[in-house]
Chains A and B, each alone.
Chain A
Amino acid sequence: MMELICPAGTPAALKSAIDAGADAIYCGFNDETNARNFPGLNFSRDELRKGIALAHARGAKILVAINTFPRASAVEIWQRAVDDAVSAGADALILADIGLMDYAARRHPNQRLHVSVQAAAANPDAIAFYAETFGARRVVLPRVLSVPEIAEITRESACETEVFVFGGLCVMAEGRCSLSSYATGKSPNMQGVCSPPSHVAYEQTTEGTTSRLGGFTINRFGASEPAGYPTLCKGRFSTAQGAGYIFEDPVSLDATTLLKGLRDAGVTALKIEGRQRGRAYVESVVRHFRHALAALGSGSEADIASLKPFTEGQASTLGAYRKTWR
């Protein structure tokens, strides 16, 4: 049975994820060391210790995401996050930076390490480097691979693979995208904020809602048109070929229908995106995939509700898992 890895942006969401059947919950500290560094979100050191105690008492694991890239002048912030997560009893650390992974491997040789999606390790050679050099036990694969490619990589890889099955869809090479940095001066990869809310503005007009990021108009939604996140990669732009979504439509990944293929590909764990989402999202999406996995295990048809109400733009996609080009 594949593990179900679920997001938690708050202690309450962590509890919701456990209640809904998560095998493991991933979360981060309330600072720039993780890639969901949004206001009011994430865990203090004390909250993490309590969350780990609760999870362990309920048979679940806690994976701590320290998956941004340290600033050269402040590496100790990231190193302290590693030390604190280990001493709190984290079951694994999810890391992206090679230097930080080296620090963690040397300082805490018994600590289980996972390679974050932010590391963009998308081929067996890259994965082998992390496994052989730092003893990484699992890699979270970037969302740019098809299911056959995942099967091939998993077959050739020296460690476990984890893939996203639901949630916001980064269409860029994760950890290397500078679109938000360009517009706001703040980096998702270093400050942990893609489209930082301090730089987001919504304007209501008779035509609908205009969303802006760092002063750039990135979309305008009609009054009843479903909306998406204010990210440049899902902005609507005017070009010589006409106006539209250049990079990606505002949609969420939903790989519910691909679970069998992912299991057959040898994937170890399935990840739900959304540490920035509320308890209602965590509860419903985790329960949905718990039911889907149970049905897959028993060979029966899953009787589960649609997750469409939770999706960006009220629409879902199989993303690169079923690759087509336009």
Chain B
Amino acid sequence: MNDPSAASPGPLPTIPPLLAFAMRPLPLLPLQLVLAAVLQRIHRHNPAMFDRLGDHARARFGIKPTDLPFAFVVEARSPRLSVVRDLPRGLDARISASLANLLALLEGRVDGDALMFSRELVVEGDVEAVLALRNAIDDAQLDLATELSALFGPLGAPAKRAFEAARGRVIGSPGQGEQLR
């Protein structure tokens, strides 16, 4: 479980544009395989989260990190995740924010309404589906370092430490601050 009070105060950092530019030619398939496996694991271990989504579990969500040269299409019911250069048409909803804010939202370390108020989160399409997704995720108390490191088998413990360190640099570490937003 992560501590929702743990995110560092103030706006979260964004990926430097030069780094984002350098990531453009990277193949998307390896990232898609890893993230799809994480989604499958979350699906297996958090059935209540998908119950909370209700009928909106059928929705196709487009998630666009504004500081990265790629985006994600996620379906909860299947579950299915694909990494794309640009979000396709025909999605039920689109959610855009910096990568750090999206990760912090996934872990419940930031408040979605507050990000809307500060214009750091943009929602288009089916607002009801987005709200259901936000509430379901917030209740799930996801720990991305745990979810990712579980893919590393016997190397899970050192992998988790590495992911926690990386997370600390992006969205803060437990005890670092008392509130973000």
| Chain A residues packing against B (C-beta within 8 Å) | 9-13, 16, 20, 38-41, 196-198, 200-204, 209, 221, 223-229, 250, 276-284, 287-288, 305, 307, 309-314
Instruction: Give complex CA distance A27, B129 in Å.
Output: 22
Q: Which of B112, B127, B134, B141 has the most CB of A within 10 A?
A: B127
Which B134-181 residues have C-beta < 8 A from chain A? 134-136, 138-141, 178-181
Does B60 sit at the interface, judged by CB under 8 A? Answer: no
- Does the CB pair A39–B128 fall under 8 Å? yes
Q: Which residue from A12, A197, A226, A307 sits with its C-beta under 8 Å from B118? A: A226
Does B5 sit at the interface, judged by CB under 8 A? Answer: yes
Given contacts A40-B132, A204-B122, contact A278 B127 (CB under 8 A): no
- Does the CB pair A40–B133 fall under 8 Å? yes
- Does the CB pair A10–B138 fall under 8 Å? yes
- Does the CB pair A226–B9 fall under 8 Å? no
For A202, the chain B residues whose CB sits under 8 A away are: 122-124, 127
- Does the CB pair B111–A281 fall under 8 Å? yes
Q: Which residue from A224, A280, A310 sits with its C-beta under 8 Å from B108? A: A280
For B124, the chain A residues whose CB sits under 8 A away are: 202-204
Question: Chain A's interface: helix, strand, loop or mixed, by majority?
Answer: mixed
For A280, the chain B residues whose CB sits under 8 A away are: 4-5, 7, 108-111, 114, 179-181
Instruction: Give complex CA distance A276, B54 in Å.
Output: 17
Q: Which of A38, A224, A278, A313 has the most CB of B within 10 A?
A: A278
Chain B proximity of A201: nearest CB distance (Å)? 7
Given contacts A16-B4, A280-B111, contact A227 B117 (CB under 8 A): yes
Q: Which residue from A12, A39, A278, A283 sits with its C-beta under 8 Å from B112? A: A278
For A209, the chain B residues whose CB sits under 8 A away are: 119, 122
For B131, the chain A residues whose CB sits under 8 A away are: 38-40, 197
Interface residue count for B (Cβ, 8 Å)? 41
Chain B proximity of A93: nearest CB distance (Å)? 23
Q: Which residue from A39, A201, A224 sits with its C-beta under 8 Å from B119? A: A224
For A11, the chain B residues whose CB sits under 8 A away are: 139
- Does the CB pair B139–A13 fall under 8 Å? yes
Given contacts A197-B128, A309-B181, contact A278 B138 (CB under 8 A): yes
Chain A proximity of B93: nearest CB distance (Å)? 10
Q: Which residue from B4, B116, B132 sits with its C-beta under 8 Å from A283? A: B4
Apart from the given pairs A198-B127, A227-B117, A310-B114, 17 other A-B contacts in the complex at a CB distance below 8 Å:
A9-B135, A10-B135, A11-B139, A38-B135, A39-B129, A39-B131, A39-B135, A40-B52, A40-B135, A197-B128, A201-B127, A226-B119, A280-B5, A283-B3, A283-B179, A309-B179, A309-B181
5 nearest A-B residue pairs (beta carbon): A40-B135, A309-B181, A40-B132, A10-B139, A284-B179
For B99, the chain A residues whose CB sits under 8 A away are: none
For A38, the chain B residues whose CB sits under 8 A away are: 131, 135
Q: Which residue from B118, B122, B136 sits with its C-beta under 8 Å from A40? A: B136
Does B86 sit at the interface, judged by CB under 8 A? Answer: no
- Does the CB pair B119–A278 fall under 8 Å? no
The 16 listed contacts between A and B (C-beta, < 8 Å) are: A12-B108, A20-B5, A39-B56, A39-B131, A40-B133, A41-B135, A223-B119, A279-B4, A280-B5, A280-B179, A280-B181, A281-B111, A305-B178, A309-B179, A311-B117, A312-B117
Chain A proximity of B66: nearest CB distance (Å)? 12
Instruction: Give complex CA distance A148, B135 in Å.
Output: 38
| Nearest B residue (CB) for A313 | B117
| Nearest A residue (CB) for B56 | A39
Chain B proximity of A59: nearest CB distance (Å)? 20
Instruction: Give complex CA distance A180, B88 in Å.
Output: 33
Given contacts A278-B113, A287-B178, contact A12 B140 (CB under 8 A): yes
- Does the CB pair B117–A314 fall under 8 Å? yes
Instruction: Give complex CA distance A227, B116 in Å.
Output: 7
For B113, the chain A residues whose CB sits under 8 A away are: 229, 276-278, 281, 312
